[in-house]
Structure 1
Amino acid sequence: MNRNKIILIIIGILALSAFYKLNTTNQKLSSKDLKQTAQIAKLKAENKRLTTQQVTFENSSSSTTTSKNNPDKKAEQVAVKLFRTLNNWNADSWLEKQQIAAKYATDDVLTYLGGGQSVDNQTTAVKQLKQLNATSQLTESNIYFEQESTANEIKGIFIGTVKTTSSGNQTTNNIKYLFTYDTKQEKITEISTF
């Protein structure tokens, strides 16, 4: 009987040990489940916030696009297109930039900004740009307008940063222009540096 009691005690201890291990494992799993549930709730809240933010952004984008007839907005679009066209180029697209820019500015403005060269000078410039593997990119731009503008003219300031690469060397320059946008011509008609 002594032997049976010892066996029962050993079996009881083993059963308690197994029960304890199962209970500890269940507690660890419950803890992990709680952490995962908390993480899921956090992700759902973040998703809801981002969805709300996206809807707000889409609404603001649509309100911006509906104001395309706003003269300041039109002037801003033209100025951005002009300065991007003139400052985003590589040797292959360098000649085309003047033709494209003609949609956004008068000949006087384009001449002031470096256009108006003879065909020979342009051909020589392209060859040199190709040899130097030159590129240019407008990396930052800001446009500001005067509060009071006349009926046909809007005066503004363009401030930008241009990154130029030539023969592997990179330079960054700030550009600053005062410009006048003519609402009738829908072009920039005057420009100067400051």
Structure 2
Amino acid sequence: MAAARSEIKQAIGEGNFVKESDILHLPYLEAIMNETLRMHTPAPLLVPRRADSATKLAGYTIPQHTQVLVNAWQISNDPTLWDEPTSFLPERFLKSDVNFKGKHFQFIPFGAGKRICPGIPLASRMVLLVLASLINSFSWVLPNKMAPQDLDVKAKFRLVQQRANPLKVIPVPLTDM
């Protein structure tokens, strides 16, 4: 949080509102979004695909007309593809050109190819804009003096992933601090 707030202050300036054009100057915030999507893939199973013809993949034969489910969550948490996959390390995206736009198959939270989510460009810009605005305007406090290490980050495995226990935080306007 401190690194994100520092980046926002440096790029935008103290007390200024975040504009959409500012997003280009916030690479660490974008790395945070990417790492969050990697660790907590919104839809763990991508839209099913159907094999038009029999094919071989990774030594397996997939018969024609087989419905294939891609587990994007497992790919994003695979230790053969990611160093320390259970650790939140946004810096991994600062040193890499890997992104979720469908060309890097180790990170496809919104699919790839013809079936990739068409809303990615708008959604990613809006998430960054809202997140930057919230970080720029508020300090976030956990209730009952809870420590960040005590947060339960487990998820329920559903069609769309959600937290097992909802996150509760208290916004404190930065002007009040």
Structure number having the greater helix percentage: 1
Q: Which has the larger radius of gyration?
A: 1
**Which structure: greater strand fraction?**
1
TM-score (norm 2): 0.25
